[in-house]
């Protein structure tokens, strides 16, 4: 990894817990909803928690988080980033997340809604 500040992730409860373990094994900071004690919390609270912890949230809940992103933008509220994804097999999900993490910085993700479907190509 280069010297840029590395994105920290908060994995929404619908995302595989195995993904957090795989990311941590590769040196990334990733926690799950369960680990954070946020299971069952509304989406708004989860996004606010992620922002308060300086974390980008990763979720399969595309439509609700796209709406939340829009609401944040309309009100001028800040978040650390939202990554929305389809439910890929764990290997594919990990590959796409790693592509994104190796390409974007904390500043790149600030107040950004990113679709993981755009991160399918391998980094050269």
Q: What is the pLDDT of residue 2?
A: 45
Place of tokens 């479907």: 117
pLDDT tens digit sequence for 37-87: 999 999 999 999 999 999 999 999 999 999 999 999 999 999 999 999 999
Confidence of residue 97 (pLDDT cuts 50, 70, 90): very high
Per-chain mean pLDDT for the chain: 92
Q: Please check the confidence at residue 114 and state whether its pLDDT lies above 80.
A: yes
One DSSP character per residue, 37-70 reads T-TT--HHHHHHHHHHTT-EEEES-HHHHHHHHH
In terms of pLDDT, which residue wins out, 122 or 7? 7
Was domain 9-119 assigned CATH 1.10.3470?
A: no
Measured distance CA(21)–CA(32) in Å, rounded? 10
Domain ranges of the chain: 9-119
pLDDT value for 121? 62
82's enclosing H/E stretch is strand 82-84
Residue percentage of the chain with pLDDT more than 70: 94
What is the arithmetic mean of pLDDT over 79-100?
95
Q: How far apart are CA 91 and CA 22, in angstroms?
A: 10
Helix 43-52 with 62-75: angle, nearest 10 deg:
60
Residue 106 has φ and ψ, to the nearest 5°, of -55, -45
What pLDDT score was predicted for residue 60? 95
């Amino acid at each position: 990894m280069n010297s840029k500040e590395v994105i920290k992730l908060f994995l929404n409860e619908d995302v595989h817990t195995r993904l957090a373990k795989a990311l941590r094994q590769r040196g990334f900071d990733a926690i799950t909803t369960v680990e954070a004690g946020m299971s069952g919390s509304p989406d708004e609270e989860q996004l606010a928690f992620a922002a308060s912890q300086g974390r980008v949230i990763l979720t399969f809940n595309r439509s609700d988080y796209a709406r939340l992103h829009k609401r944040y933008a309309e009100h001028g509220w800040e978040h650390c980033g939202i990554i929305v994804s389809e439910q890929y097999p764990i290997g594919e999900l990990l590959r796409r997340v790693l592509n994104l993490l190796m390409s974007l910085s904390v500043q790149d993700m600030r107040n950004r809604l990113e679709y993981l479907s755009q991160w399918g190509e391998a980094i050269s």
